[in-house]
Every structure is written in C-alpha cells, then in structure tokens.
Amino acid sequence: MRTFLVSLFFAMMVTRSFAGEADVVRAHVAPQSDGTYRFDVTVYHADEGWGHYANAWEVLSEDGMVLAVRTLAHPHVNEQPFTRSLSGVEIPEGLTRVIVRAKDSTHGYGGQELTVELPGR
C-alpha cells in the first residue's frame, strides 16, 4: 500500500508539471479616445482545472513597473489559446512600448512574454 501511495504522489506531481507556464502568444493594443489603451491578450496554457490554470496577465513598463493586471477568474481547459481584454489602461508619458506577461496558479510568471509597441507614441 505504501508503494502505491508513493507512486500515486509522484504521478500527481509529474502530471501537475505538464501544464507548464502560461505564455502570451498575441497582444493587440489600441488607443482609446480618452487617452487610455485597450489590450486584447491571447494566452496559451494547458489548463488542467482549478488546481493549475492561467490566472492573470499584466502590462509592465520595460523597467518592471506594473501598469495593469487582468485577473482570469476561472480555468479555460477547453478554450486554448484564449483571448481576454482590458480597457482603460493608463500608460505614463514617455513610454513607447510595454511588456505583456501571463501567470498561472502553480508557476507564477515565467512563460513567454511579448514586448508591444504602443500605437500613436
């Protein structure tokens, strides 16, 4: 019985790691009439359910300042990759590009990031 439980534990650990980190595969940025920006971000992650899923993406300045966060409220097991939007993002003057990165509930940040040029800047 003990051998079975140890094997089951290791099998569960290996299975958890298969989903890997969340990757940003596309990011579209559009200026809005009020001077803010809308981000449409496509994320890929092999969501496994509530225990391991892509749970946020964020917009950062190149020096690492967090400008906006889009929380993802549930797993997207059967919808990969998936796109979610965030409007009203204020970008400080002088910035011409930003970094978009995603995170998952197990690994945090660390997958593929994209650097995006800001239109109109």
Name residues whose C-beta falls within 8 Å of residue 32's C-beta, 6 or more positions apart in sequence: 38, 87, 88
- The residues with which 101 forms a beta bridge, in sequence order, are 58
37 and 30 Cβ atoms separated by less than 8 Å = yes
Over residues 91-112, the pLDDT tens digits come to 999 999 999 999 999 999 989 9
Q: What are phi and psi of 114, to 5 degrees?
A: -125, 140
Q: Round the CA-based radius of gyration of the chain to a whole number and report it.
A: 17
Weakest mean pLDDT among 5-19, 47-61, 101-115: 5-19
Higher model confidence: residue 121 or residue 80? Answer: 80
41 and 26 Cβ atoms separated by less than 8 Å = yes
pTM of the model: 0.82
